[in-house]
C-alpha cells in the first residue's frame, strides 16, 4: 500500500502465493493434476521438476495467460479470478524466453515496462539506480540491449521484473542456456534482492545445484506435487542424504549435472 501499512490480505501469515487444488489439461493431456502448494512471504522457493513436469503451465496460470478453471490461485490473498488487478499488481515475472526489445536501450526497456505499471520515468530511473547500485550494468544503460551477453540480458529482465516493487516474483528456469559463472551471478543477484526487499520468489528449475539448504522446495513431477517444504525437512522425510537423493526417491529420476533424467533400465 502507498502509506506503507499492510492491507489485511498482506498480513504476514498470508502466503505470497497459494495454489489450491489446481488442474490443467491440454486436450486429453493432463499437465497439472490437483496441485496445491504455497510460497510464504519473504521466502526463496525452488520449484524443482524435470522437463514436462508442468512448471511452465503453472506459470501460465499464475500470470493469467491461461484461465484457472479448476482450483484457485491467490497472490497475497487476492484471488486471481476474483480480483485479478489486485493480484497481478503484486506480481513480477521473468519468462523462460527472452523478452527484451533488442533495438531499444537498456534504460528504455526498463522505463517503458515501468510505465505499464504506472511508474513515471523519473521514479523509474531512481528505481533502476537502486536495483543496479552495485552492478557494472548501471554504466551501460544507454547502450542497445543487443550489445549485452545472454547473462546480462537476463539480469536486465530480472531488474525489469523488480521495477514496480512486486511482492512475488516468478522466474521460469531463468538460467537456461547460460554458462556456470552467469548462472551463479544471476542466482546470487536474486537472492540478494530477496533479502534486501523482502520479496518472495518462486524459482522454477531442473538443476539441483541451484537449490540452497536454506531454501524451500516444491518437487513437481508429471503434473503432481511430490513434496513441499524447507529443504532439510524434505530430505529428512525421505531419509535421504541430499536434496538430489530425495528427488530420486520421490520421482524415480536420476540427477545429473545438466539436469534431471529418467533412470533408464
Ligand atoms: N500447448 C500445449 N499443448 C499440448 N501439451 C502441452 C502444451 N504445453 C505443454 N504441454 C504438455 O504439458 C506437460 C507439461 O508441460 P510444461 O511445459 O508445463 O512443463 P515444464 O515443466 O515447464 O517443462 P519444460 O521445462 O520442458 O517447459 C507436458 O507433458 C507437455 O508436453
Residue 75, pLDDT score:
97
- Among 29, 62, 171, which residue has the most ligand 1 atoms within 8 Å of its CB, making it the best to mutate? 29
CA of residue 240 to ligand 1 center, whole Å: 29
What does each of the 265 residues of the chain score in pLDDT, given as a tens digit? Answer: 444 445 555 677 899 999 999 999 999 999 999 999 999 999 999 999 988 899 999 999 999 999 999 999 999 999 999 999 999 999 999 998 888 999 999 999 999 999 998 999 999 999 999 999 888 888 999 999 999 999 999 999 999 999 999 999 999 999 988 888 889 989 998 999 889 889 999 999 989 999 999 999 999 999 999 999 999 999 999 999 999 999 999 998 888 766 666 544 3
The structure's pTM equals 0.91
- Among 25, 30, 31, which residue has the most ligand 1 atoms within 8 Å of its CB, making it the best to mutate? 31
Burial of 144 (0-12, 13-18, 19+ CB in 10 A): middle
Residue 178, pLDDT score:
87
From the CA of 56, give the closest atom in ligand 1.
22
* Nearest protein Cα to ligand 1, atom 29: 52
CA of residue 147 to ligand 1 center, whole Å: 32
* Nearest protein Cα to ligand 1, atom 16: 54
Residue 96, pLDDT score:
86
Residue 265, pLDDT score:
36
Q: Ligand 1 pocket by C-beta < 6 Å: which residues?
A: 26, 29, 31, 49, 51-57, 173
| List of residues 6+ apart from 190 with CB closer than 8 A | 44, 158, 169, 171, 174, 201, 203
Among the CATH numbers 3.10.20.30, 3.40.1160.10, 1.10.287.70, 3.40.50.300, which is that of 10-90+168-262?
3.40.50.300
Q: Where are the alpha helices (DSSP H) in the chain?
A: 55-62, 84-89, 106-116, 121-131, 150-162, 180-197, 231-237, 243-251
- Domain range list for the chain: 10-90+168-262, 100-165
- Please name which of 66, 86, 64, 63 lies closest in space to residue 76, comparing C-alpha atoms: 86
Amino acid at each position: 500500500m502507498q502509506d506503507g501499512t499492510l492491507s489485511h490480505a498482506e498480513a504476514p501469515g498470508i502466503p505470497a502465493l497459494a495454489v489450491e487444488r489446481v488442474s490443467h489439461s491440454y486436450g486429453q493431456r493432463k499437465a497439472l493434476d490437483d496441485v496445491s502448494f504455497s510460497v510464504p512471504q519473504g521466502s526463496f522457493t525452488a520449484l524443482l521438476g524435470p522437463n514436462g513436469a508442468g512448471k511452465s503451465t503453472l506459470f501460465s496460470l499464475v500470470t493469467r495467460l491461461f484461465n484457472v478453471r479448476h482450483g484457485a490461485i491467490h497472490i497475497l490473498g487476492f484471488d486471481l479470478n476474483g480480483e485479478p488487478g489486485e493480484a497481478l499488481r503484486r506480481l513480477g515475472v521473468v519468462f523462460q524466453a527472452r523478452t527484451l526489445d533488442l533495438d531499444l536501450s537498456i534504460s528504455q526497456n526498463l522505463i517503458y515496462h515501468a510505465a505499464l505499471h504506472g511508474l513515471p520515468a523519473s521514479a523509474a530511473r531512481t528505481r533502476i539506480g537502486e536495483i543496479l547500485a552495485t552492478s557494472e550494468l548501471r554504466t551501460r544503460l544507454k547502450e542497445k540491449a543487443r550489445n549485452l551477453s545472454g547473462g546480462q540480458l537476463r539480469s536486465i529482465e530480472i531488474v525489469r521484473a523488480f521495477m514496480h516493487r512486486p511482492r512475488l516474483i516468478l522466474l521460469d528456469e531463468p538460467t537456461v542456456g547460460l554458462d556456470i559463472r552467469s548462472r551463479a551471478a544471476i542466482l546470487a543477484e536474486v537472492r540478494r534482492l530477496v533479502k534486501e526487499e523482502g520479496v518472495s520468489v518462486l524459482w522454477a528449475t531442473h538443476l539441483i545445484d541451484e537449490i540452497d539448504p536454506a531454501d524451500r522446495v516444491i518437487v513437481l513431477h508429471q503434473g503432481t506435487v511430490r513434496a513441499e517444504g524447507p529443504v532439510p525437512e524434505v530430505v529428512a522425510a525421505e531419509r535421504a542424504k541430499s536434496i538430489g537423493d530425495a528427488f530420486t526417491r520421490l520421482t524415480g529420476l536420476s540427477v545429473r549435472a545438466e539436469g534431471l533424467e529418467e533412470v533408464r533400465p
